[in-house]
Amino acid sequence: MADRRRRRAAGDHRHRSRAHRHVGPRHPGRHHRDRLPRRRHRTAQRRRAAVPARPGVRRPDGDRAGGAAVRAAGVRGQDADPGPAVRGALGDAEPGRPAVGDRRSRGDPARRPGRPPRPDRRRCGAGGHRAGRPDRRGARVRPAAVPQAGGAVGDDAEGRRADRGQTVKIRAILLAVLLGVSGQGVTHVTGTACAGVSDFDGDGVDDVAVGDPFAEGQKGAVHVLSGDTSIPVTVQGLAEGDAFGWSVRLAKVNADECADLVVGAPYTDVDGNADAGTAYVIYGGGALEPRRLVAAEPQRGARLGWSLAARGDLVVIGAPYEDDGDLADAGAIYALKGGGALRRVTQATVEVRGNSEVGDQFGYSLAMGPGNGVVVGVPYENDDGQGQQVDSGKVDSGSVVVIQDVLAEKIVSTKLDSPTDKAGDKYGYAVAWVDGAGPAVGAPGAGYVQLYDEKLAPKARVRQEGKEAFGFSLAASADGRLAIGAPYGGGVRVVTAADGKDDRRLPPADGLFGWSLAFSGNKLFVGQPDAAPYGKVTVAARNSDELRAVQPPKGADFGVSLG
């Protein structure tokens, strides 16, 4: 205690409390539902507490369980055998889902290691915590035994779940594709006639990636939805608590015609640095080995891979908990072009507007702009004027930095501050760029989304009343629409990005409906990571009022991320 007082007296605010940074008042009976997931840890002790125990589950041959394969799984019957290929990748059995300490999630759910703010994010029900789901800060409760343990791969199985009278069929297939980051050979995925920007498996159909970072004993898993097929994807060497799938994006990173999958695993330990974080590029078509991306100088608790943005062969990765010198959790982003090296950018980088400050979390959210441009969310910035603000001013008002070319030798950028002049907006919690319209910035602390034109002049402001975290998630379509999520009971609104006028509304549903969003082709995908039993994704077609539900045969929080 005495040491802490001396540090504060000397101006070191690394250990200052942020307990006051929450969104809105608490509501009786809702526990922490009304607050956004915070995903922040101020001390090394709290960072350690956020990491689930890693018992080091090992296969009989001594290798760590968790395996290396693009696994295509159907529905597992209780007595079904997944087959040697999948068994070898996963080990003998799926590890149990251990209770986890306080971890902050994306929103503070379990988008989200902090999982989605479950209804109580990135997790609770209307009355409290749901077993097996993390709360916004990621606290997880060990679930009761589930009668069906999840599924083995069959060759004509189907999983069914009724939703609005719909039956969703997930056809089981087995891809003979083993992915390894250690140099193992890989074979091609069947089908190479890749078409759209998001066609990962070469079947000519636009795909979408779904993250479930707490599956497989919190190693994490990703599913690529392609038509009525779900392709589970993992990489070799994952450990319990890595949260593979916390963030996901499909983009054409290399020169072939197939989309590639970029996946964040922000709670991965790197070179002895706990929760330093990593990201993976898994190439569509299966012709190349996956690439593992880590910082040149990994930091403990940086959480590289928390957020992602990608367009073409440019990938940008957020590490919002990375320290900048003595400034804890100031945040950083890393840019990658093709097969090049990662470039680190912070608010201390020359010509990047704003100041690196304790707890700003530069890079908490990301979106690609035109060319090599990138929109960077800084939702926990205190902003009340020039210079560094530490414990005063508009606490957590937030800001956004728009960088014209993140690869340029001399960066040109513009800083967009919260337009309301109020503390607690968390402006920049979610960001998007709508082609032909400009950027959109979510401020779920105040319940609005600010729209800008392509020259960064403010246009319309879209609001929604209530403590529903409106603006928690954003997704832009290719035809100029913007989807806005309010996962705490506000549903999803789709607006025209040019003027903010409503195009469509999807009513609220259970399970943190709207926690994550993504457009693919003419469909909008809505994540519900807290839906029983393992999370759910709802699919809304452009010209249909019918909603289709997709659920996995096993998992934890399917739908924490979409991309």
pLDDT tens string for the chain (563 positions)?
Answer: 445 444 444 444 443 333 333 333 223 233 333 334 433 333 333 333 333 332 222 222 233 233 223 222 322 222 223 232 222 222 222 222 222 223 333 333 333 333 333 333 332 222 232 323 333 323 332 222 222 222 222 223 333 333 332 222 222 222 222 222 223 223 234 445 566 677 787 777 889 999 999 999 999 999 999 888 898 999 999 999 999 999 999 988 887 778 899 999 999 999 999 999 999 999 887 668 899 999 999 999 999 999 999 998 999 999 999 999 999 999 999 999 988 899 999 999 999 999 889 999 999 999 999 999 999 999 999 875 554 545 556 899 999 999 999 999 999 999 999 999 799 999 999 999 999 999 999 999 999 999 999 999 999 999 998 889 999 999 999 999 999 999 999 999 999 999 999 999 999 999 999 999 999 988 999 999 999 999 999 999 988 889 999 999 999 999 999 99
Using DSSP's 3-state secondary structure scheme, residue 300 falls into coil
- In this structure, are residues 443 and 425 in contact, taking their beta carbons and an 8 Å threshold? yes
pLDDT for 235? 94
Residue 15 in domain: yes
> Which of 429, 449, 482 is the C-terminal boundary of a domain?
429
d(CA 523, CA 539): 7
> Would 400 be classed as within a structural domain?
yes
Does residue 44 lie in a domain region? yes
- Rounded to an integer, what distance in angstroms lies between the CA atom of residue 467 and that of residue 444? 9
213 in any annotated domain = no
Domain assignment present for residue 425? The answer is yes
Per-residue pLDDT at 83: 30
Q: Which residue, of 395, 429, 463, is where some domain finishes?
A: 429
**Which pTM was predicted?**
0.70
Evaluate whether 179 touches 236 at the Cβ level (below 8 Å). yes
Of the three residues 404, 429, 454, the one that is the final residue of a domain is: 429
Which sign does the torsion angle of CA 104, 318, 276, 281 carry? positive
Task: Give domain status of residue 396, yes or no.
Answer: yes
User: Dihedral of CA 414/420/423/424: which sign?
Assistant: negative
Q: Residue 370's domain spans which residues? A: 306-429
Given this model, what pLDDT does residue 167 score?
25
**Selection from 547, 562, 545 nearest residue 249 by Cα:** 562
Taking phi first (over 0 means left), then psi (-120 to 50 degrees means alpha), and beta for anything else, what does residue 108 get?
Answer: left
**Cβ-Cβ contacts under 8 Å for 232 (sequence gap 6 or more):** 70, 71, 72, 73, 221, 222, 223
Tell me if 314 is assigned to some domain.
Answer: yes
Place of tokens 């659920």: 551
The per-residue pLDDT for 192 is 54
The sign of the dihedral angle between the CA atoms of 293, 295, 301, 304 is negative
Tokens (6 digits) for 380: 């926990």
Tally the domains of the chain. 2
CA atoms of 168 and 72, how far apart (whole Å): 17
Say if 288 falls within a structural domain: no
Strand ranges inside 296-398, DSSP E: 307-311, 314-319, 332-337, 343-345, 365-368, 374-378
The predicted-structure confidence for 192-223, as pLDDT tens digits, reads as follows 556 667 778 777 788 999 999 999 999 999 99
